[in-house]
Amino acid sequence: MTNAYEKPAAVSTSRNAPARIKRRVCYVVLADVVASGCMLFTAGCKFDVSAPPQKVSSTPPTPVLTSTVTVPLILNVGALRDKFVANLEATPLVQGTSPDLNARLLADDKTIFQQPNKVVDVAAKEASCAVVDVAKPITVSVKVGTETVSCALSPWKWGNCVRDVFQNQTKMIIEQVKQCTAAQAEVSHIAYTTIEQLTPKVFDTTVRLNYSVNLNSLTMEVNGSQLKATASLSAPVSVDIQQNLLVGSITVKGALTCTSNIDAATVINVSMVQTDGVIGAQADASALDLDVKKLCIPDAVQLVDAWSFTSLDSAAATRLVKVAVQKALLSALNDAVTKKASGFPLNDNLSKEVAKVQGVYPIVTDAWLAVEPKHVALSQIQGQVINGSQSLSLTASMDANLSVDYGAKPTLPAAGTIPVTLGTPATAVHLRPRGVLSLSKMASLALSAARQEAGDKLAKAGFEIANINVYQSNDLLVFAVGINSKSVFDPSGTLYLSGKPVYDPAAGSIVIENFDFTVESRNWLADHAAAVLQSKATEAIAKKLVFKVDDRLNKVAKQFASFTFPVGNGQLSGTTTAARLGNVWVQGDALNFDLIVDGQARLTLSL
């Protein structure tokens, strides 16, 4: 006898995708059953629903992208000006000597002689008399009061009597007295005075004019990548005359030196250049605007030859300005990077300072941020006003690997030389903190939610949910739902729901979006348990599929929302955008995923 029932192959409900099962027809021949002694209710058919393919990477892709962090370098124009002035104060902007020039030298011939002079010691006076008022003291008796004394009032009676009291006082009076003086003869002597007599003379001769232009003070203004420098200058001029011209009593009439105070201005275009791997500052100054008409000529000479300072070449001054600006800029830039700038090129100093940032720094308990600089790009110079002060700024961007690790503190290799180039700095932070979820816990939560939201409706149709397993299919999570029939006349098998895992930063959990049955699963339900589809059970189940991630991961994500970390010789700060899921993969009995945290950051070097 042939048994009309053939036992189907087992359906795997592990995270490995079940194999496609050929459809079996559920029917029995009663005679065969009776003859074989088989119980009708002990066997049923397996239905066949295609499973989404399992596509899992055994190892995760590289989770960390290179991050770019800005490193602002601010140059205060005041400090730059001081360095610029220091480079120019020691050396005149312009220095030179005129050719021999025919001129008239104004001089004086000095004659010296002694001139006698009568000096009167006592003037002569005639005899004379005069009446003068003379003060003279006299003594007078003045009543000053009364007093009581004992006296005889009658021959037989004594009593008190009152009498006046007088006092002698000195009093000044004026008397006119005639006084006479004897005649006085004049008393005098002879004194001699040295007299210098100057006689103007004019000498025809040749002279040379020595001149220089020196910096007194300077103001600077920034406009984009330009510096407008306005200087107050002093221009001393001195005269060289022929030897042996001024001999004896001949002296120059007037000054042989003079100094003019003049103003000058120039516009300086500044930029960063890289030559043979060395980054430096370049200055291109426009011609120095020197008003040479204001330069003086000492008034001791009158030029016969036509010559003026208009022939003075300001190109030398302009070249000095360029060199001074370049030196000042490079010095200020090196100071902005490190105070140990002892003549090293800017890129060497910047490379050394950025290399000090490499290290591993704590984020939260048992979580570490590893910073590994790879490259620095330096921008061009731009002027701006910062906190009310005119400044020049450059932006360096540090390309670095920023990674997050858990558990023991990781170890980085020793920092090497960080290459520095000119470029266009950008800023973008990429972090990939990793999370892990147990597949068995995910399946358990899904089974509870499915039974709660769809179990009753399936039961009314004669089915029950036996189990749920979870596996990965590309960027989707597949929930394989084992369905058992309560009747031997209905099939049992596996239905499939799938959805995309996303990260909910507010809840600190992974939730499932677009959660629904596969097409073949929906078709099967339409034939056997349509009430499940009509009840929107998948939406209800999805709302309960909230998988709490490792608390450390949430703490890391929150910490990086707005962060400041001391790193090496500086401070790393920035903000990140909302976290989202990146790579998702199954490894072992767990779902692994990267949390993508992107944003912006800056590194401020503490010097």
pLDDT tens figures, 314-328: 777 777 787 888 788
271 has a pLDDT exceeding 80: yes
| Mean pLDDT, the chain, integer | 80
Tell me which residue of 9, 34, 41, 40 sits closest to 24, measured CA to CA. Answer: 9
Would you give the distance in Å from CA 522 to the centre of its chain?
A: 60
Would 357 be classed as within a structural domain? no
Q: What SS3 class is residue 346?
A: helix
Which of 283, 304, 337 delimits the end of a domain? 337
Is 208 in contact with 240 (CB distance < 8 Å)?
yes
How far is 311 from 99, CA to CA, in rounded Å? 11
Would 472 be classed as within a structural domain? yes
**Burial class of residue 105, CB neighbours in 10 A (0-12, 13-18, 19+):** buried
Which of 337, 363, 378 delimits the end of a domain? 337
How far is 486 from 490, CA to CA, in rounded Å? 8
Would 231 be classed as within a structural domain? yes
Judgement on whether residues 54 and 82 belong to the same structural domain of the protein: no
Would 531 be classed as within a structural domain? yes
Name the percent of the chain lying above pLDDT 90: 8
Amino acid at 289: D
Judgement on whether residues 102 and 53 belong to the same structural domain of the protein: no
403 has a pLDDT exceeding 70: yes
Judgement on whether residues 450 and 331 belong to the same structural domain of the protein: no
How far is 57 from 593, CA to CA, in rounded Å? 12
Position of tokens 């590194």?
603
pLDDT (mean) for 131-150: 87
Judgement on whether residues 228 and 333 belong to the same structural domain of the protein: yes
- Specify the number of domains making up the chain: 2
How far is 402 from 603, CA to CA, in rounded Å? 13
602 has a pLDDT exceeding 90: no
Is 341 in contact with 73 (CB distance < 8 Å)?
no
Is 428 in contact with 397 (CB distance < 8 Å)?
no
Q: Which span out of 308-312, 427-431, 523-527 was modeled with the highest average pLDDT?
A: 523-527
Judgement on whether residues 436 and 291 belong to the same structural domain of the protein: no
How far is 375 from 372, CA to CA, in rounded Å? 10
- Strands 367-378, 420-422: pairing is parallel
pLDDT (mean) for 365-377: 87
Judgement on whether residues 474 and 584 belong to the same structural domain of the protein: yes
How far is 365 from 407, CA to CA, in rounded Å? 9
User: What pTM was estimated for this model as a whole?
Assistant: 0.56
Judgement on whether residues 326 and 441 belong to the same structural domain of the protein: no
Overall residue count recorded for the chain in this entry: 607
Residue 462 backbone dihedrals phi, psi, to 5 degrees = 95, 25
Residues 6+ apart with CB under 8 A from 100: 206, 207, 208
How far is 4 from 468, CA to CA, in rounded Å? 31
Q: What is the pLDDT of residues 534-573, one digit of tens each?
A: 888 889 898 999 888 877 887 888 888 888 888 877 888 8
Judgement on whether residues 261 and 310 belong to the same structural domain of the protein: yes
Q: What is the pLDDT of residue 244?
A: 67
Q: What is the pLDDT of residues 212-221, one digit of tens each?
A: 888 888 888 8
Q: What is the pLDDT of residue 248?
A: 65
**Residue 450 or 534, more confident:** 450
Name the percent of the chain lying above pLDDT 70: 87
Is 48 in contact with 21 (CB distance < 8 Å)?
yes
| Residue-range definition of the domain harbouring residue 331 | 76-106+205-337
Q: What is the pLDDT of residue 313?
A: 63
Would 41 be classed as within a structural domain? no
Would 247 be classed as within a structural domain? yes
Output the six-digit token pair for 305.
Answer: 């030859």
Q: Which span out of 140-154, 388-402, 454-468, 584-598 was modeled with the highest average pLDDT?
A: 454-468
Q: What is the pLDDT of residue 7?
A: 31
> Could you please report the per-residue DSSP string of 131-153?
EEEEEEEEEEEEEEEEEEEEEEE
How far is 607 from 338, CA to CA, in rounded Å? 6
Would 583 be classed as within a structural domain? yes
How far is 292 from 93, CA to CA, in rounded Å? 13
pLDDT category, 478, cuts 50, 70, 90? very high
Is 450 in contact with 481 (CB distance < 8 Å)?
yes
Residue 353 backbone dihedrals phi, psi, to 5 degrees = -70, -40
How far is 417 from 254, CA to CA, in rounded Å? 67
How far is 545 from 538, CA to CA, in rounded Å? 10
Q: What is the pLDDT of residue 80?
A: 82
Judgement on whether residues 453 and 598 belong to the same structural domain of the protein: yes
* Beta-strand runs (E) in 312-458: 359-362, 367-378, 382-386, 389-406, 420-422, 429-431, 434-438
pLDDT (mean) for 463-482: 91
H-only helix segments in 226-345: 315-337
| Secondary structure of 522-564 as H, E, C letters | HHHHHHHCHHHHHCCHHHHHHHHCEEECCHHHHHHHHHCCEEE
290 has a pLDDT exceeding 90: no
Judgement on whether residues 97 and 221 belong to the same structural domain of the protein: yes
pLDDT (mean) for 76-85: 82
H-only helix segments in 259-357: 315-337, 346-355
Judgement on whether residues 482 and 604 belong to the same structural domain of the protein: yes
Residue 321 backbone dihedrals phi, psi, to 5 degrees = -60, -45
Judgement on whether residues 322 and 438 belong to the same structural domain of the protein: no
Which of 293, 320, 337 delimits the end of a domain? 337
Q: What SS3 class is residue 457?
A: helix
How far is 433 from 550, CA to CA, in rounded Å? 11
Tell me which residue of 397, 363, 348, 414 sits closest to 563, measured CA to CA. Answer: 363
pLDDT category, 339, cuts 50, 70, 90? low
Is 400 in contact with 373 (CB distance < 8 Å)?
yes
Would 393 be classed as within a structural domain? no
